[in-house]
Amino acid sequence: MRLYQKYFPGNYDELITYYPKFYRDVLEMRAILEAHGAVLDELENNIELVFFNNFIDTADEQTVSDLEKFLDIKLNRSRSLEVRRRFVKSFFVGFGKVSASILEAIISSYTHDTVKSRFEPFDSVGNNMLHLEYRRGDVPTLYLEDITFLISKKMPAHIFWRAMLT
């Protein structure tokens, strides 16, 4: 993915077009333009890298690894970069007050599908349990332990819950 459409193979090829034709055969002028073109190529690539690393969906592997370390997520190298991005992205959903709708949004951001929640009594005392029902969605790989980990990080300790794949 590029930020903008390139019309030349490199910045040297673009810079040479701005010079008069009689400079194009001068060895020193070509060397100067090649050096400046290489610097501009590297600068262009670094700007795009910084821009794309500011969004989880387009972040590179190093940025995702740094986010996993920051969030204290156990690093699992066997998973694809796309799965790791989805997991990190789901981690940022719902900071602050926790509600059933926020938990639905967390699971939905990971599975890319709708989530249903309901409170129902589960014992004779009348305590309620939060049931979270979700579907696989259109993602090729879904790790159930990731969803359990996400919910357990956000769920208050006094609420009983159960997540079910339907």
pLDDT digits (tens, 9 = 90+) for 40-52: 999 999 999 999 9
Question: 44-58, 86-100, 113-127: lowest mean pLDDT where?
Answer: 86-100
Domain residue limits, the chain: 11-52, 59-165
Query: Taking the complete model, does pTM exceed 0.75, yes or no?
Result: no
Instruction: Sort strands 160-165 and 128-134 into parallel, antiparallel or unpaired.
Output: parallel
Q: Which element (helix H / strand E) includes 116?
A: strand 115-121
Q: What is the DSSP letter of 162?
A: E
* Helices assigned H by DSSP within 71-116: 81-91, 100-111
Provide mean pLDDT across the span 1-22: 87
What's the pLDDT score for residue 75? 67
CATH no. of 59-165: 3.30.300
Provide mean pLDDT across the span 89-96: 77
Question: Taking Cα atoms as reference points, which of 3, 149, 34, 30 lies closest to residue 86?
Answer: 149
Count of CB atoms situated within 10 Å of the CB of 123: 9
pLDDT tens, position by position, 57-71: 999 999 999 999 998
- Distance between CA 137 and CA 114 in Å, rounded? 8
Q: What is the mean pLDDT of the chain?
A: 87
Provide mean pLDDT across the span 27-32: 93
pLDDT band at 95 (very low <50, low <70, confident <90, very high): low
pLDDT band at 29 (very low <50, low <70, confident <90, very high): very high
Provide mean pLDDT across the span 84-111: 84
C-alpha R_g of the chain:
25
Q: What is the DSSP letter of 22?
A: G
